[in-house]
Amino acid sequence: MASFDLGTETVDMCDADRVVLTSYFTLSGKPVRLEVKHTRLTWRGEGQTEDCHVDWDDVITAYLGGVSRGPGVKARVGVAPEEDRFTLHYIEHQKINILRHKHVTFIGQTGHLKEWLDIVADKVGRGRPKRLLTIVNPVGGKKTGVSLYETIVEPLFVLAGIDAQHIYTERFRHAEEVAKTFDFTSVDGLVVSGGDGLMQEVLQGLIPRYNKDLNLDDPDAQLKPLPVALGALPTGTANGISVASYGSRDVETGVLRIIQAEVVRSLVWKTRELQVDGEYLPARTPVKDIRSKKDQGGSVSPDGWVKFSGLYTCVHGRLGGFHKVEGRSKLQFDQEGQSMNLFLWRRTGRLAFFKWIIGFIKLRADTLDAECIEDRYVQAYRFRVGGLEGGGERVSCSETGPDGAESDYLVIDGEVRHMTSNGLEIRIHRHLAEFFGTTFDDWSY
């Protein structure tokens, strides 16, 4: 093997562990040997017995020079003019599903750095988004949407070489208006920085826009996949979509996952007990689900629908197929979108309802055992308040809307929608939209 004194040597790559390029640099005043391999970048300093390494998927960027001094992400992305060094920005995996942006600066010999930067540029960024639109709710959650975007989100996008546009919402349903009119051919993805309600607004604009030739009231309608990938950053009150995508409610983690491109008002309402008649289509039960496999009553139609009927205060649908796994205190999530939970609430106090909601947000497994709910594991459900078509007296839970028509309330993640019918059908439409995210077998937070 040749000498490595601040020079470089290229080696033919025969396998994943074979060195492709190697050099000596100085890191924190100590000499280190830096190596390029097929799957990762490694370095080892004097006295170290193990390599430090960064997989190529976790490399954000590298550039000639150092970093500006000062705290915060903005300072770390600044470029100092030194030409005898290059800075590597990468993603560090910390505790379960938490990612952090880190950087390291290697000091070498002027004129010997271009080959390193070219290799990093060749290895990194393939398939990653280059242009993104971010819709930011400035008043969501703790009203920190703007500060989080400006101090964490935007600097990391810029560091990764992403042309980051943003729109701050100014009014109710502003995000829906953007979704209906923005030219998404100009971007590689749409990122929603807010809660689940803001994502619902976006979907309320996107789905009708790209399905104009379909009757969206027809439950058998085959919705067309959306032409833009979606990302969710958890800066709102309810951040279930972010948790489902990244396994975390951490904003920096969400941004870094997108860069990698692994492409409560109802609580304070007065409860009323209403007659509800409906049907649900059972979903495939996850193999590891330890709940009872017995159906909880109701006749089964020839096409597989199971009827249910009773007095309930709430019909509560949860997309995600949360289920219990033996030996775990947290609920698990069906990330493939095969199923959803249907919770039928019997009369209970608002305090008990609130405690259940908090428990479910924390994904406590015992929430599925609450005495006040009936839990169904479904792929579709439909119901009418006050009796099905042709039978039963209507029990009204409505008010007169702005247009004079009687209107029921439908609450979607805190967003209130008006209905002009006392019936509703919910179905899962798989593969409708792609999300920036990651896959994981076991996660908690």
Residues 243 and 362 in one domain: no
Domain shared by 115 and 147, yes or no: no
Measured CA distances, 237 to 94, 243, 268 (Å): 24, 12, 16
C-alpha–C-alpha distance, residues 379 and 219, integer Å: 12
Residue numbers of the domain that contains 32: 9-123
Phi first, then psi, for residue 24 (nearest 5°) are -100, 135
In total, how many domains does the chain have?
3
Indicate whether 295 pLDDT > 70: no
Residue 165 placed within a domain: yes
Residue at 431 is within a domain = no
Q: Which of 68, 96, 74 is nearest to 148 (CA)?
A: 74
Query: What's the average model confidence in pLDDT over 47-74?
Result: 79
Pairing of strands 229-234, 189-194: parallel
- This prediction has a pTM of 0.69
Does residue 73 carry a pLDDT above 70?
A: no
180 and 107 in a common domain: no
173 and 258 fall within a common domain: yes
> Residue 84 falls within a domain, yes or no?
yes
Same domain, 255 and 299: no
Place of tokens 């190697």: 22
Q: H-helix or E-strand containing 16?
A: none
For residue 278, how far is the Cα from the chain centroid? Answer: 31
What confidence tier does 3 reach under pLDDT thresholds 50, 70, 90? very low
* Of 123, 140, 155, the domain-final residue: 123
Q: Is the pLDDT of residue 176 over 90?
A: yes
> Is 4 inside a domain boundary?
no
Statement to judge: residues 116 and 187 lie in one domain: no
> Residue 407: which pLDDT band, with cuts at 50, 70 and 90?
very low
Please report, for the domain that includes residue 117, its CATH number.
2.30.29.30
- DSSP notation for 25-49: EEETTEEEEEEEESSEEEEEETT-S
Same domain, 119 and 136: no
Same domain? 285 vs 241: no
Say yes or no to pLDDT of 238 above 60: yes
Tokens, residue 161: 């070489």
Q: Is residue 280 part of a domain?
A: yes
Distance CA(402)–CA(384), nearest Å, equals 23
* Domain presence at residue 424: no
What are the CA-CA distances from residue 2 to residues 22, 100, 421 (Å)? 11, 37, 79
pLDDT at 143: 85
Residues 255 and 349 in one domain: no
Tokens 């698990």 locate to 332
pLDDT, residue 394, reads 34
**Are residue 287 and residue 360 in the same domain, yes or no?**
yes
Question: In the listed set 263, 282, 313, which residue is the last one of a domain according to the structure?
Answer: 263
**Residue 159 shares a structural domain with residue 101:** no
Last residue of a domain, one of 93, 123, 153: 123
Q: Are residues 43 and 158 in the same domain?
A: no
CATH number of the domain to which 192 belongs:
3.40.50.10330
Residues 258, 101: Cα–Cα separation, whole Å:
13
The tens digit of pLDDT for each residue in 297-321 reads 567 777 889 999 988 888 888 877 8
- Over residues 413-436, mean pLDDT: 75
For CA atoms 352, 353, 357, 363, the dihedral sign is positive
The pLDDT of 268-277, averaged and rounded, is 70
Does residue 114 belong to any structural domain of this protein?
yes
Q: Is residue 412 part of a domain?
A: no
